A and B are shown apart, each in its own frame.
Chain A
Amino acid sequence: DAVMTQSPLSLPVTLGQPASISCRSSQSLVYSDGNTYLSWFQQRPGQSPRRLIYSISNRDSGVPDRFSGSGSGTDFTLQISRVEAEDVGVYYCMQGTHWPWTFGQGTKVEIK
C-alpha cells in the first residue's frame, strides 16, 4: 500500500499568518496516464470531510484562493496563505493512484 505521511500533525497558527502542510508518499503517485492523483480534504469539527484540492493543485468550486496545492512525484504541500478562523480543522491528503486509496494521518490546524 502507498503510505501517506503528513507533517506536522499539529499546526498552531496565528490568524492572518501562512500555514503549510507536507504530505509524502511511499510510492510515486504518477499514474499510468501521466496524471498524479493527490487530493486534499478539510474536516471541520463535527463535520464530514470536504474536498479542497484535486490532482495536486486544482481547487474545488467555492474553495477560497488562499488555499493552494503543489508538488510532484512523492512530495506534496498544501498552503494556506493567510489563515482565517474558519480554517480550523483537520486536513488530510489522499492518493487515488494506487489501490487501496490511502489517506495521510491528518494535520490539525488550530489558532494560537
Chain B
Amino acid sequence: QVQLVESGGGVVQPGRSLRLSCAASGFTFSNYGIHWVRQAPGEGLEWVAVIWYDGNNKYYADSVRGRFTISRDNSRNTLYLQMNSLRAEDTAVYYCARHVSSQRNFDYWGQGTLVTVSS
C-alpha cells in the first residue's frame, strides 16, 4: 500500500537550518510529484512546495521561497525539504503528500513531522 513517512523534525533555534525527509513506498515514486504541506499548532493547512516527478519543476509558497528548497532522490524513493533561516512562524507539522496530476490535488498523506523553531 502507498506509504509516506516523514522524518527529521525537531527543535531548532531561529535562523538555523533543518532538513526534512519523506520516504515513499508502495508506488513508483519516480512517476509522481510530491508536495509539502504544513500545519501550525491549532491552525489550518498551508501548502508549502511541490516538486515534479522528475525534479525538473518546483514551486514554492511566497512564505518560504528563497529559504526552503525541495528536492528528491528517485533512486532512494525519498523527498527532501531543506529549510534555512528558520523563523518562529515556520513552527508546524510538516506533511508530504502525493500529487495527482489528473485531479490537481493530493491523494495520500504522510503522518507528519513536527518542527519547532524556538530559542
What is the interface of chain A, defined by CB distance below 8 A to chain B? 31, 37, 39, 41, 48-51, 54-55, 60, 90, 92, 94, 96-97, 99-106
Contact = CB atoms under 8 A, between A and B. Distances in A.
A39 B44 contact: no
Contact of B62 (A39, A60, A100, A106): A100
B46 interface: yes
Contacts of A100: 47, 59, 61-62
B45 interface: yes
Chain B interface residue count: which class?
Answer: 10 to 19
B109 A54 contact: no
Interface stretch (B9-17, B18-26, B83-91, B100-108): B100-108
A104 B43 CA distance: 11
Given A37-B103, A54-B103, A100-B59, A48 B44 contact: no
Interface of B: 37, 44-47, 59, 61-62, 95, 100, 103-107, 109-112
Contact of B105 (A37, A90, A105, A106): A37
Given A102-B47, A103-B46, A96 B105 contact: yes
Contact of B107 (A51, A90, A101, A106): A51
A48 B109 contact: yes
B44 A96 contact: no
B44 A105 contact: yes
A76 to B, nearest CB: 14
